Amino acid sequence: MASFLKLSKIIINTNHIRNINIKPSNYEIKFATPNMDGFTIFGSGHIELDYPTINVCQKENNEDYNVVKKWIMIEEENSK
């Protein structure tokens, strides 16, 4: 069953989170599903993958920061 992380402007399916970079006053959430961009011409070309990122800053949105912080602490406890 999927679990969701509800922030003020977005609801995140936690199964799609690739990793979270934890910084002193910022969480950088990177997703596992990339955005693809590129082109192909006659069997050759270029494809570029960009993994979407959401930054949750403590100064800009303290509520979202605390939601992510609490979720990380729960995940750490469950992994023990």
Max CA separation in the chain (angstroms): 52
Contact at 8 Å (CB) between 16 and 4?
no
Number of separate domains in the chain: 1
User: In the predicted model, what is the mean pLDDT of residues 33-38?
Assistant: 85
Domain that holds residue 19: 4-78
pLDDT at 56 over 70: yes
Contact at 8 Å (CB) between 38 and 46?
yes
pLDDT at 1 over 60: no
SS3 of the chain: helix, strand, coil, percent, to 5: 25, 50, 30
Question: For residue range 10-21, what is the model confidence (pLDDT) as tens digits?
Answer: 999 999 999 999
List CB contacts of 30: < 8 A, sequence separation 6 or more: 17, 18, 19, 20, 21, 51, 52, 53
